[in-house]
Amino acid sequence: MSLRPLWRGASLTGQVSTYSAHMADPHRGHRGFRTAETPLEDAVPPLVRAAVAGIEAVRLRPELDLDPLPAPRRLATYSHAVSVGVADPEGDEIASGRFVALYEPDGHEEWQGVFRCVTLAQADLEPEIAEDPMLCEVAWSWLTEAMEQHHARHTVLGGTVSRCASVSFGELAERPATTSVELRASWTPQEPPSGWTPESARAAFEAHFHAWVDMLAAAAGLPPLVAGVTVLPGNR
């Protein structure tokens, strides 16, 4: 599906706000990648280190701001989490999301693999877009098209798209009604035929995180980057 009717085309000139509190994960542990026993970093498997390196290798466009999150402890033996926020020119947050990479050394039956990506994205919507009956289908296409574009091969992809309306009453009745879209998705990065190596894990997570970031930018209404334009490091 085409995303063109949903672009807002705004450019960022103000300060990017921090990740909103309502996106916080209740299963929070320590910052960075951790295990249930919180071992020394030397004990972290090379595949996990490579996956994190792949995430860190993605250069964000200037409208986006990344922050590390406490890694959830209860989802897998090893995990790594980051948040990304998008603000409008006035500095108000219009979209935000969370990307969590999970690793289970012996594999997970439901994942059908050793790695898993668990994500959440939320974005404010313009009124005319919020009323579109195809909103949920188009929002899901933001993710699948971005994954296809970045060759982020995957299996066991599933998720939900929700249209969220907020109406104020009483003393807050003068506030305008707002609508947002929320996309929750998880998937398993496809294991190469020759098995995982640090090199393939890094490349895979660079592709998957890049695809997810592009999905978040589309949800925020940002236009795609012009071909040939280099994204400079920043907001890391």
Q: pLDDT value at position 162?
A: 93
Residue 56 lies in a domain: yes
Residue tagged 């108000």 (tokens):
92
Q: Is residue 3 part of a domain?
A: no
8 A C-beta contact, residue 88 and residue 124: no
Tokens of 159: 């998720």
Planar angle of CA 165, 65, 147, nearest 5 degrees: 75
pLDDT by residue for the chain (236 residues), tens only, comes to 332 233 333 322 233 322 233 233 333 332 344 444 444 556 899 999 999 999 999 999 889 999 999 988 889 999 999 999 998 888 889 999 999 999 999 999 999 999 999 999 999 988 777 778 899 999 999 999 999 999 999 999 999 999 888 888 999 888 887 889 999 999 999 999 999 999 999 999 999 999 999 999 999 999 887 554 433 344 44
**Whole-angstrom Cα distance, residue 233 to residue 236?**
7
* Residue 41 within a domain: yes
Q: Provide CB contacts within 8 A for 131, sequence distance 6+.
A: none
Residue whose C-alpha is closest to residue 222's, from 95, 66, 97: 95
Does any domain span residue 137? yes
**5 found inside a domain:** no
CA distance 121 to 185: 9
Q: Is 104 within 8 Å of 47 (Cβ atoms)?
A: no
Domain containing 137: what range?
Answer: 28-219
Whether 9 is covered by a domain: the verdict is no
- pTM for this prediction: 0.78
* 228 within a domain of the structure (yes/no): no
Helix (H) or strand (E) holding 135: helix 135-149
What's the number of domains the chain is made of?
1
Asked if 156 and 112 touch (Cβ cutoff 8 Å), the reply is: yes
DSSP symbols for 181-217: EEEEEEEEEPPPTT---HHHHHHHHHHHHHHHHHHHH
At residue 80, the pLDDT reads 97
The radius of gyration of the chain from alpha carbons, rounded to an integer in Å, stands at 18
Residue 226 lies in a domain: no
Give residue 213's pLDDT: 97
Torsion of CA 42, 105, 101, 156, to 10 degrees: 170
Q: Which two tokens stand for residue 190?
A: 């496809």
Can you tell me the distance from the alpha carbon of 128 to that of 224, in angstroms, rounded to the nearest whole number? 21
DSSP state for residue 54 in the 8-state scheme:
H
